Amino acid sequence: MNYLDFFVAVLLANAIPHFIFGLAEVRFLGLFGYTAAGNICYALFQFAIAICLFIYQYGIAKLFANGFVLGTMLVLLLYFIFGRLLLVRFQKK
């Protein structure tokens, strides 16, 4: 493992709570402030940086061969796609 692998893992793992807090409109400090939109943008920014670092280090072909990165990306992408829908559907009113 090298330092770029560590940063890819940290960025992907940190993007998940920021995205969830942004969807839930919880005040949580991110790079772009305390707002919900700021946390969502921060999560997307971290996701993009992590993918770019991984592709820089290993190439795009390895992206789909690495189970850990692919699994984390899948969970994050599912949050990006279905997060708002699930929050609206299951949030107590």
Q: What is the pLDDT of residues 40-91, one digit of tens each?
A: 999 999 999 999 999 999 998 888 888 888 888 888 888 888 877 877 777 7
Q: What is the pLDDT of residue 63?
A: 83
Structural domain boundaries, residue 20: 3-90
| Counted domains in the chain | 1
pTM of the model: 0.80
Q: What is the pLDDT of residue 53?
A: 93
Structure tokens at 7: 């940063």
Q: What is the pLDDT of residue 50?
A: 93
**Mean pLDDT, residues 27-41 taken together:** 86
Amino acid at 90: F
Q: What are phi and psi of 87, to 5 degrees?
A: -65, -45
